[in-house]
Amino acid sequence: MEDCDAGSSHEASPATPIKYLRSRRSRHPQIQQVASPTTHGTRTRVSLRRATLPESFVPDPRCTFLPGNGGRAPALICQICFENRFDPANSTDAPNQDDSFVILPCGHVACAPCLGVWQQQQQQQEEEGQGGNAAATCPFCRLMLRHGVCKHSLQTRYLTRRDILSGKLPRTIPDGGGIPDHCRECVDGVLVAEFAPRQRSVSAQLALARGRLRAAPARSVETGELLSIPGELLEAVDALQRHQESLTCEKEATRESLGGGGW
């Protein structure tokens, strides 16, 4: 598992998108702390080690943005454009592509527009064959932003007031979290293939048993049979209900093991 503190050993390859950073550096001299080209001819490299600043690094967002934290939440400033700022108290409930902030599994944050441009440039280089296996990465520590087994890219995780107040922000890697092996779509596909037939079978058996149970009193009157039959049917219905609940628990446990939550 890659740690966000290992950013000093993760310099960009020659194909790393830096045009966007260069344009920001020309307007904001302080961005040189974030992106500084070396003098290796055309083999320009970018070091973003110093981006682990309070303004752009939130290793424990669930505590940092805890409601009633006494105003100690940091004033986040996008370290790419140095223009957009994030205020937890005034954040929106729904993500907004224009001014929302995004948090990555490594704990780094930046505004959505800048990260969008960064990822678009990486995707373009991959399509042009310039970046090899250039999946989306964190622009600061180069953490690979994709799932380990299914290889799909991570979904964008916006910092919204709803998630902050509800405590639904996932654990970052510095806080003991991690990137699940499978994306949510792949997890859902596995769950449907494995559990849907079993759940349909149990539901059909349960519906049949309940129907027989409802019809049992009338049949008992007509035939003069003892009322022990409804008792047996009640036991069957009860057993099927327990089996149905057990399948639901097994399904959720499988979802958790495959990484259906978090990032």
Whether pLDDT at 105 is above 90: yes
Whether pLDDT at 238 is above 70: yes
Identify any residues that bridge with 85 across adjacent strands, giving them in sequence order: 77
The count of other CB atoms within 10 Å of the CB of residue 129 is 9
Q: Mention every residue, 6+ apart, whose C-beta is less than 8 A from residue 169.
A: 61, 62, 65, 103, 159, 163
pLDDT for the residue 232: 76
What gap in Å lies between CA 195 and CA 114, rounded to an integer? 41
Q: Which of 28-32, 161-165, 240-244 has the highest mean pLDDT?
A: 240-244
Q: Exposed/middle/buried for 200, CB within 10 Å: 0-12, 13-18, 19+?
A: exposed
Domain spans in the chain, listed from the N-terminal domain onward: 4-175, 184-258
- Cβ atoms of residues 115 and 24 within 8 Å: no
Model confidence at 107, in pLDDT bands (50, 70, 90)?
very high
Model confidence at 96, in pLDDT bands (50, 70, 90)?
low
Q: What percent of the chain has pLDDT over 90?
A: 8
Pull the structure tokens for residue 24. 């920001």
- Cβ atoms of residues 75 and 85 within 8 Å: yes
How do residues 19-29 score in pLDDT, each as one tens digit? 444 444 444 44
Query: What number is the average pLDDT over the span 190-213?
Result: 87
Task: Quote the DSSP letter at residue 65.
Answer: T
Of the candidates 245, 251, 140, the one whose C-alpha atom is nearest the C-alpha of residue 202 is 245
Of the candidates 176, 179, 117, 110, the one whose C-alpha atom is nearest the C-alpha of residue 150 is 179
How do residues 155-189 score in pLDDT, each as one tens digit? 888 888 788 777 778 889 999 888 988 888 888 88
Q: What is the pTM of this model?
A: 0.60
How do residues 114-163 score in pLDDT, each as one tens digit? 998 998 888 787 777 655 445 688 999 989 998 888 888 888 888 887 88
Report the residue count for the chain: 263
Q: What distance separates the 2 farthest-apart alpha carbons in the chain?
A: 98
Q: Exposed/middle/buried for 90, CB within 10 Å: 0-12, 13-18, 19+?
A: exposed
Whether pLDDT at 8 is above 80: no
Whether pLDDT at 55 is above 50: yes
Q: Where are the alpha helices (DSSP H) in 33-152?
A: 61-64, 112-127
Collapse the DSSP code of 77 into the 3-class scheme (helix H, G, I; strand E, B; otherwise coil) and give the result. strand
What is the residue-wise DSSP string for 188-250?
HHHHHHHHHHHHHHHHHHHHHHHHHHHHHHHHHHHH---THHHHHHHHHHHHHHHHHHHHHHH
- Quote the mean pLDDT of the chain: 72
Collapse the DSSP code of 86 into the 3-class scheme (helix H, G, I; strand E, B; otherwise coil) and give the result. strand
What gap in Å lies between CA 86 and CA 9, rounded to an integer? 29
Helix 228-258 with 184-223: angle, nearest 10 deg: 180
pLDDT for the residue 106: 94
